[in-house]
Amino acid sequence: MASIRRTLSQVYQDRSYQNGVASVQAHKLFSTNNNSGKYSSLTSTSAVAAASVYLRRKGFRRSFYRCTIFFILGLLLGIFPFGQVDNDINKHDFSFEMKPPHVNVQLDTKDNFALAAVSLGVEKTTPQLDRFSRFDYVERKQVIVITPTYNRALQAYFLNRLGQVLRLVQPPLLWIVVEMTSASAETAEILRKTGVMYRHLVCVNKNNTNVKDRGVHQRNAGLEHIERHRLDGIVYFADDDNVYSLQLFESLRNISHFGTWPVAMLAQSKNKAIVEGPVCNASQVIGWHTNEKSKRLRRFHVDMSGFAFNSTILWDPKRWNRPFSNPIRQLDTVKEGFQETTFIEQVVEDESQMESVPPSCSRILNWHLHLDAHGLVYPRGWLLQKNLEVVQPIK
């Protein structure tokens, strides 16, 4: 039987199959070498591998594009919410504090206790605005008290008494205590126990032998400290042996420039009480009252503890239109009793720049009693090293 072999026409040599994978070149190779199964199998295997690689790459790209699109869409939905969110929830609306249950107990007519109700619910805490509204915050001027002191028998009594009064004054208050030559351990211990904000200073004077009035140099040391550190407040000279009312320190905060008031004191003879200070009409000073004829030559008749002034006068002269910028200090060269008037003359020009404390000078707010005791021996540090002698034995 004769076999007829038909060769491919030239027209079909360049035509591809429908799946676009194998070419006519592969078919030509297959047709020319149909007797060799080895080459035909290799060609088929390479074609299938190429097709699988192409499909795998195409599927990876498709998955990557989908993940990217959904990620961007979720990010946009998270950034731009489409509903209203209640922001009124505050951390203060929840309380995790363990509180005992509320139990209401009533007493009946038969003297038996009856349990009325027990509340075990979670109690809502007070809102934040209500808690802050309960704080009584009032802006107050600072009171700066300068106290000269020295070691003597009644020093501990005087400082403790004054410290207890200052402890009751509403803050802010600064107590400047000045000692001469060196700071004593007894004074430092008393100041630490008062609970008042204080500064313990030492007046260093090279010519201690020529000092006429110790208190003048100690007060000047306090004034220099205020001027150097630019402390803002109302300055008041409070000697430790005077008696002060709590109302006095509260009234000092009403002073804007310079305030004054009358002071009650014992005469040097200790047999009569006198009043010295301004005579006021409402808030204006219209005159002065004094009982000592030797002091009538003074310009301003006021005690050292009978006036207070704004501390900015010391370190801000432009604010008060002072014509000179010399430091304001007390003078040790003047006669005793004239330190007050010479100092006030550096602060104000006349009575028109003064304020009465309280209005109309209607109350005595402090007393100068001159009760200091001289020449008394007291134990060092107020500590008894030895037991006292038995004067009255126990029978």
Q: Which amino acid is at 269?
A: S
Using CA of residue 329, residue 355, residue 265, residue 163, what is the dihedral sign? negative
Taking the C-alpha atoms of residue 197 and residue 210, their distance in angstroms, rounded to an integer, is: 33
Burial 130-152 (b: 16+ CB within 10 A, else e): eeeeeeeeeeebbbbbbbbbeeb
Q: Which residues does 147 contact at the CB level (< 8 Å), separation at least 6?
A: 159, 162, 175, 176, 177, 178, 237, 238, 239, 240
Q: What tens-digit pLDDT sequence spans the chain (395 residues)?
A: 444 444 444 444 444 444 444 444 444 444 444 444 444 555 566 766 766 666 666 677 778 788 888 888 888 877 776 555 555 545 555 454 555 544 444 444 444 444 444 444 444 444 454 444 455 567 899 999 999 999 888 899 999 999 999 999 999 999 999 999 899 998 999 999 999 999 999 998 756 666 778 899 999 999 999 999 999 999 999 999 999 999 999 999 999 999 999 999 887 777 788 899 999 998 899 999 987 666 678 899 999 999 999 999 999 988 888 877 789 999 988 888 889 999 999 999 999 999 999 888 989 999 988 776 666 767 677 777 777 788 788 87
Taking the C-alpha atoms of residue 356 and residue 281, their distance in angstroms, rounded to an integer, is: 8
Taking the C-alpha atoms of residue 141 and residue 157, their distance in angstroms, rounded to an integer, is: 29
What's the pTM? 0.64
Taking the C-alpha atoms of residue 91 and residue 22, their distance in angstroms, rounded to an integer, is: 71
Q: How many residues does the chain have?
A: 395
Q: Which residues does 254 contact at the CB level (< 8 Å), separation at least 6?
A: 355, 357
Q: If we measure between CA atoms, which residue out of 348, 351, 350, 292 comes closest to residue 323?
A: 348
Known catalytic residues are 340
Instruction: Give one DSSP letter per residue of 284-336, joined into a string.
Output: EEEEEE-S-GGGTTSSS---TTSEEEETHHHH-TTTTT-S--PPP---SSSPT
**What order of strands is seen across the sheet that includes strand 243-244?**
243-244, 366-368, 263-266, 273-281, 284-289
Q: If we measure between CA atoms, which residue out of 219, 254, 341 comes closest to residue 227?
A: 219
> By the 8 A CB rule, do 54 and 61 touch?
no
